[in-house]
Structure 1
């Protein structure tokens, strides 16, 4: 009996050690967040083991696990019609609020889900719930794009899928079919979906033969650059819940079908060192010592190695492709962007990507709203349904929908 008690105590102590993670005092519901993060880490480590044993790609296995979990709490609404269809060969899910006798044209949001270009689904419970609430709250047609995922497909497939679907949707006859006002359409997305939304919005604003353009873009904790993995938010939140710096670097490598052997060098910014002349033209475009307010820079210092590894960019030239890294685009492109909303969270490695994008837009003359949450974490906006319902999710979602309602 005594031995069993000792073993139980040791097991509980080990479990508490695994779950516990130091968090800022501002974070809401810290222990729930620790449990969520521990669950993610267990799932990721299990999938990494499966990958190591040659039984399946870790991202494909992880997405299957997420898919099962995602269907635990399916959402529906009698007031919203849901249709699965295709736009120019790309799968989409369309949410249409009931007309209730109202024949006026509706506004619309094109939404692109996150998940590191590899995880989640437009049809999954979390994003289905978000789009249902958006359709009801905004009385708007929501188009959620089911782009193809890593590891079966790599950049630029995801970008091309979203671009093709968006171009099809913005055709006058398609907007008319869904009774949408062409002057009241927004593009939006979270995390990797925010990356795709920003990149496609940049592309659409530069195309001369586009009849209809977006009125707004709304980016939720977007990932916008793989150039500098030592911005203050990357340094501050290196091992933060849900999305650590190393995991984000691996998502980028998977997106480009690169070599994991480069990961540690990329964490140290060896892929953008000073002696690599071909990366220098991009350096000033994300100089966070200038683009970030002092309250976010804090006492962090830039990490800019004198010498680096040229072979990384040679093997993965996509690291400097603005279709993957919209923060690297030229000023002339930023000048063309529509009115923009950017939501950022303090407990997030990607915080500074969004803040720097906002600053570059402002410098280019674009109206920008930055909605920053000190107590929130990456990915929180979709965590509003059981068993992962967080107050942070409700606060960020409500603030996001409020801005859309007032501006779209």
Structure 2
């Protein structure tokens, strides 16, 4: 009986995944990508997860977001006796601290890690491998921040938790074996968004030590222009399809999905703001080498006041850090930015890199020529799941940390 049930569930899962695959845009992986088959398999497995989550939600068994969270939390961590691991709270925020035991150094660098997951997914548990790796390889005290998730805790609760955890560590660094002058914040994807927003929020704070650096791993940084070259070239490249990017982002801030076509056209940005943002968000600032795979300037569509009012929070620098004022950007700490060639968010990183450098901020840039969104996170699984580009990215991040 149990065997029959298992077979039934497996067939059902495969059916749901296939249906989900054909319901959504087909994946397109450039022929120059050397690990194409592996990425296709990953794309199918992700469709299986998303499809099954959607199915279970529609039939009322479990909500989509809770099912995906459970899936992510089943990721087994590495066993590592070289780390002292403990769970604490920084103010109201759950954190897990990873402290190396092999070094005699009493005051190490401290790294706060903000996980990805578009504010709705991810957890301390899901990012165990990432944080253990960074602590061990860079000989740092790593603090994984378990910020509250939407929709139970609406945006910007995620930012507020990350800011609270950061200020707490800056104030109490020595209690955790951390040099308060060597605190770095780091995050991937939406965690990179949170990293950028927290760094900006701290520039005018005189009550805590300054951050030593920020590390942005393929961050989402703006929703003004979704027709930049990277969006046009990689709109159907797994794992972050263009349409999926916007859907997940709108669900994060609890906005309806009815006007997504208007957002793609840029109708949510009024004319005065469009003129203001052009000096920061423009395909003209993307180097020509990143347009060779194809780019066609998009027509300008008239703005809609209704659309702007409905999606106005998306233009807040907490959600779109690339839109912060120059006076804020000019005070940011040294920065590491990782971008991936086959990622819709590639140009967000390139534009932020330019803004920082224009203001004299030192930037270390790592571009993964065969990277895609999520490649660094997957690198820690080894075997068939790890991609060479992700392994390279991890090593570059560790090298940067060791210099701090």
Give TM-score, length-normalised by structure 2: 0.89
1:296 and 2:256 matched = no
Residue 79 of structure 2: which of 76, 93, 97 is its match?
Answer: 76
1:367 aligned to which of 345, 362, 366: 362
Q: CA deviation at 1:261?
A: 0.8
Q: Does 1:90 align with 2:96?
A: no
1:62 aligned partner: 68
For 1:255 and 1:285, how far apart are their aligned partners in 2?
27
Where does residue 105 of structure 1 map in the other structure? 107
Aligned residue in 1 for 2:166: 166
Secondary structure at 2:203 match in 1: helix
Measure the CA separation in 2 of the matches of 1:182 and 1:225.
31
Output the CA distance in 1 between the equivalents of 2:149 and 2:207: 29
Aligned in 2, Cα 1:43/1:99: closer, same or farther, shift over 3 Å? closer
- Structure 1 residue runs without a partner (length 5+): 1-10
1:297 offset after TM fit, Å? 3.2
1:342 counterpart residue number: 337
Partner residue of 2:281 out of 283, 287, 299: 287
Deviations 1:109-158 (A, max 9, x none): 1111111111121222xx21111111111111001101111222221111
2-side partners of 1:138 and 1:400: how far apart? 9
* Corresponding pairs, count: 382
Asked whether 1:182 is paired with 2:184, we answer no
More off after superposition, 309-318 vs 159-168 = 309-318
What is the CA-CA distance between 1:98 and the residue it aligns to? 0.6
| Equivalent residues of 2:235, 2:241 under 8 A apart | yes
How far apart in 1 are the matches of 2:199 and 2:114? 12
- Residues 7-406 of structure 1: pairs in structure 2 closer than 5 A: 21-68=27-74, 70=75, 73-98=76-101, 100=103, 102-124=104-126, 127-171=127-171, 174-210=172-208, 212-272=209-269, 276-298=270-292, 299-383=294-378, 384-386=380-382, 388-405=385-402
Specify the SS of the correspondent of 1:322: coil
Between 1:250-259 and 1:290-299, the stretch displaced more is: 290-299
Structure 1 residue 185, shift from structure 2 partner: 1.4
Contact 1:269 1:304 in 2 (8 A): no
Aligned partners of 1:108 and 1:185 also within 8 Å: yes
Relative to structure 1, the CA distance from residue 74 to residue 209 in structure 2 (aligned partners, 3 Å threshold; closer, same or farther) is: closer
1:113/1:192 contact within 8 Å kept: yes
Cα deviation for residue 269 of structure 1 reads 2.3
For the Cα contact (< 8 Å) 1:344–1:373, is it kept in 2?
A: yes
Cα deviation, residue 38, structure 1: 0.9
**Displacement, 1:49?**
3.0
* Structure 1 residues 22 and 248, CA gap change in structure 2 (3 angstroms): closer
CA deviation digits over 1:287-330, x for unaligned, max 9?
32332111113452343533233222212221110111110011
User: Deviation of residue 78 (structure 1)?
Assistant: 0.9
Indicate how the Cα distance of structure 1 residues 141 and 355 shifts in structure 2: closer, same or farther if over 3 A, else same: same
Which sections of structure 2, spanning at least 5 residues, go unmatched? 1-14
For the residue of structure 2 that corresponds to 1:260, the secondary structure is coil
User: 1-side partners of 2:307 and 2:45: how far apart?
Assistant: 33
Deviates more, 1:279-288 or 1:226-235: 279-288
Shift of 1:21: 4.2
Aligned to 1:3: none
TM-score normalised over the length of structure 1? 0.88
Cα displacement (A) at 1:392: 2.4
